[in-house]
Amino acid sequence: MASASDAAAVPADLLRAQENAVVELVRVGPAAEELAARFDAAGHRLYLVGGSVRDALLGRPAEDLDFTTDARPDAVLAVLEGWADAVWETGIAFGTVGARKRGTAVEITTFRADAYDRVTRNPVVAFGDTIEDDLMRRDFTVNAMAVELTGGERTFVDPHGGLAALAAGNLDTPAAPEVSFADDPLRMLRAARFVSQLGLTPAPRVVAAMTAMAGELARITRERVQVELSKLICGMHPRRAIELMVDTGLAEQVLPEVPAMRLAIDEHMQHKDVYTHSLVVMDQAIERETDGPDLVLRLAALLHDIGKPATRRKEPDGRVSFHHHEVVGAKMVRKRLRELRYSKAVVEDVAQLVFLHLRFHGYGSGEWTDSAVRRYVTDAGPLLDRLHKLVRSDCTTRNRRRAAALQRSYDSLEERIALLREQEELDAIRPDLDGNAIMELLGIPPGPQVGRAYKHLLAVRMERGPLSSDEAEAELRRWAAENGVG
């Protein structure tokens, strides 16, 4: 059913036609049809609800389906018995039963009319009696739509104008946003996530509530915050979402280093501050993605300059410098991403990209030797392709001549990398003698001395390139004699 205001404004026959059109748009697979028939036979009502309806209206694919029902959890389990390939009861205390049928995952939740303790985000579960009660408790109007699949004829239920909001690109809450966010502060971060993923614009009252209540996000576990942040970063419009977080103060609770960059003007004394520059770099990095959203690259682009505020210095000539900000920034990235409970691999990859993002500068002066190129590739390791994208994206100057020169210099570096890779198997640089050869030539057993010799030969290999067997053996014996080994 439509909202009362909508019904008053739209003739009944036209309203019915619109609802029928919506129902036609919401296609469900065989598993949902079978499930609806079983609930109908058991005398219960079943609704496709929330994000499943929203995504169907947007034409977005959905592998998982969300349902709500008047049946209590025990009755839901009885309906699923003999039909589902698998059933899980992880969320049954909150009225949710999960199941899988022929590869389709479904979650079925009993109508809810929860209250919240306002200390954690955990609800005091109370089952509701109507679909309208259930939809009122949901986070946003675009997620408060449902389609009934039982009762013989499908019915579109939209008491809060979610369809109109979706069509207009508006993001609002069914209840007052202050009430909704007090119940579950994570919804404020979800608002930013929907800005990124769906391109929606939050209503002024939503923005006002987010601004006033940003501190409430501290009630949420870091793991839950990280999940929402990752989805936000990997959305279609992450810059808009980051700007919303900074403007409302949410970023201070999640990534305080990002708004801190607004205080630092870059070393070229241009009009843009480091914060704006970082958003542009993230935009340009996204344009260079080839295989879908890259969380590591996007985080590195956003955070590559977070060390600048801490290293900002005014030089005697009046210019501003940020010496070693890449070193400081890499340490800050590790601390922040660990605090957000990112995996060790993500933390280290993002930090290493931040650490290396300035290494390229100076190449254009022609001072880089083959040894420097080898070290660049070796230090980047499997991150080399991302490093290429990050460094190229870090050029945001409006000076076309300078921008073109920087891109030509990096073209030249990539050409040298390709040439050395072809000549030397650059991606797998190893010493010209392995550990067994070192032990045999020096007559030493396994132990620390072998490791020291190996490390020395690797440094020589990086500096001089491949050596012949005779040259490598001579270098090893020279080193061993100088260091009293063997």
Whole-number Å distance between alpha carbons of 343 and 230: 12
Whole-number Å distance between alpha carbons of 317 and 471: 50
Whole-number Å distance between alpha carbons of 53 and 162: 10
Residues 6 or more apart in contact with residue 249 via CB below 8 angstroms: 210, 211, 214, 215
* pTM score, whole prediction: 0.80
Buried b (16+ CB within 10 A) or exposed e, 406-443: beebbeebeebbeebeeebebeebebbbeeebbbebbe
Whole-number Å distance between alpha carbons of 229 and 224: 9
Q: What is the Rg, in whole angstroms, of the alpha carbon atoms belonging to the chain?
A: 29
The pairing of strands 64-69 and 104-110 is parallel
The pairing of strands 104-110 and 115-116 is unpaired
Helix, coil or strand: residue 47: strand
The torsion angles phi and psi of 333, rounded to 5 degrees, stand at: -60, -45
Whole-number Å distance between alpha carbons of 431 and 421: 16
Whole-number Å distance between alpha carbons of 128 and 110: 8
What is the token pair recorded at 303?
């955070």
| pLDDT per residue as tens, the chain (486 positions) | 444 344 445 456 655 665 666 666 677 778 889 999 999 999 999 999 999 899 888 888 777 899 999 999 999 999 999 999 999 999 998 899 999 999 889 999 999 876 665 665 566 678 888 999 999 989 999 999 999 999 888 889 999 999 999 989 999 999 999 999 998 999 999 999 999 999 999 999 999 999 999 999 999 999 999 999 999 999 999 999 999 999 999 999 999 999 999 865 655 555 458 999 999 999 999 999 999 999 999 999 999 999 999 988 888 887 888 888 999 999 999 999 999 999 999 999 999 999 999 988 766 566 678 888 888 888 898 999 999 999 999 988 777 887 888 888 888 888 888 887 776 554 556 666 788 888 888 888 888 888 888 888 877 777 777 778 888 888 888 888 888 887
Which residue shows structure tokens 């410098």?
321
Whole-number Å distance between alpha carbons of 202 and 183: 19
